[in-house]
Structure 1
Amino acid sequence: MSDIDVEQIAALLNERNGVDKKIAAIIQRPMTSGHLGEWIAAQVFGIESETSAVAAAVDGRFTSGPLRGRTVNVKWYLKREGLLDVTERTELDYYLVLTGPASPAASSRGGTRPWCIESVYLFDAKQLLAELRERGVRIGVASSVRAAQWAAAEIYPRASNPALAVAPRQAELLRPFAPR
């Protein structure tokens, strides 16, 4: 790497820090995929966020519709690699997972992780935990979720999971996050 490359990276990071600062001012949390994903989910799906960003397992509760009052853990994965951070905490009802494009879990060398939302999934936390245990899957960070489970949990853009219908206005709010 040359000195010019290092200087260019520093300049680009300064630009990014400026954008991150503007986003943080809106979401009232540091700019990370976790915090921003929770904020987007709260705005689009009517989730009241926990007051503490470090609450164990639960990021908030649905405020309306068929899931009103149910707890949710929101994830935003910039790529859907078939992995999900899963907890054994019993107070969690659902995972709401925003993802970028599907991608195999492989080396990231030469790749990018664009900040986009291509799909949204709703997993029943207790059902998913039971299915993973039945298969002998390790529970925790990066638990392996089968493609069929992802397909059955999809609520956007395809409505495979009847537990939560995405209203036209919600779909309208998600579309600008599509990969370009």
Structure 2
Amino acid sequence: MNEVKRVADLIQERNRVDAALSACIRRPALTGHLGDWIAAQIFGIELGLGAKGVDGTLADGRTVNVRWNLKRDNLLDLRDGGPDVYLVLSGPKALAESSRGATRPMVIDAVYLFDAAAVVGELRARGRKVGVASSVREELWDAAEVYPRRNPSFVLTEEQREFLALFGS
């Protein structure tokens, strides 16, 4: 019964932290909302277009769907007719092991920017499904990485890199 009390106390503590986060972002402190807010602050995304599967617009006018994956398992939720790009904030690369005894901290160790049409086209060319938990090849993840690697297709300022480092493991 001591474990039940301990878990109840920790959940109450977590609820206090979530309330403070919600006050900052003005939405529930869920991973998706937090990821959207963090991406908007760091990358200048204008949120709130209201279109299904589109979270906002980048400064260059491209529509974007933001994902915060707490681990990188090479899966990506994709949609036909979705945004122009997918911006993925990601925790550490997942190991092929059970989650028993593991934790999944809210960290950002890498950022990926996928051209939606290109990744959907590549999946279709390989006869793969496009939708929830689409399996994206390792090479595409490597090519889409914009942080911590430097990628000439989406150059980050030093300030953006410093902000992202605040969320690292």
State the TM bucket, normalised to the shorter chain.
over 0.9
- Aligned partners of 1:62 and 1:145: how far apart in 2? 23
Of residues 123, 138, 151, the one that matches 1:147 is 138
- Aligned partners of 2:105 and 2:112: how far apart in 1? 18
- Secondary structure (helix, strand or coil) at the match of 1:103 reads coil
Q: Which runs of 4+ in 1 moved over 3 A?
A: none
- Secondary structure (helix, strand or coil) at the match of 2:166 reads helix
Please list every run of 5 or more consecutive structure 2 residues that lacks an aligned counterpart in the other structure.
none
Instruction: Give the equivalent residue in structure 2 for 1:73.
Output: 65
1:4-83 map, 5 Å = 4-50=2-48, 52=50, 55-63=51-59, 68-83=60-75
Instruction: Give the equivalent residue in structure 2 for 1:175.
Output: 165
Percent identity for Structure 1 against Structure 2: 52
Check 1:140–1:127 CA distance in 2 against 1; reply closer, same or farther (3 A cut).
Answer: same
Q: What is the TM-score of this pair, normalised by structure 2? A: 0.96
Q: What is the TM-score of this pair, normalised by structure 1? A: 0.90
Structure 2 counterpart of 1:37, one-letter code: G
CA contact (8 A) 1:82 1:104 kept: no
CA contact (8 A) 1:98 1:120 kept: yes
- Aligned partners of 2:131 and 2:109: how far apart in 1? 24
Of residues 100, 110, 126, the one that matches 2:91 is 100
| Aligned Cα root-mean-square deviation (Å) | 1.2
CA distances 1:3-43 after superposition (whole Å, capped 9, x unpaired): 11111101000000000000001101101110000000000
Structure 2 counterpart of 1:118, one-letter code: D
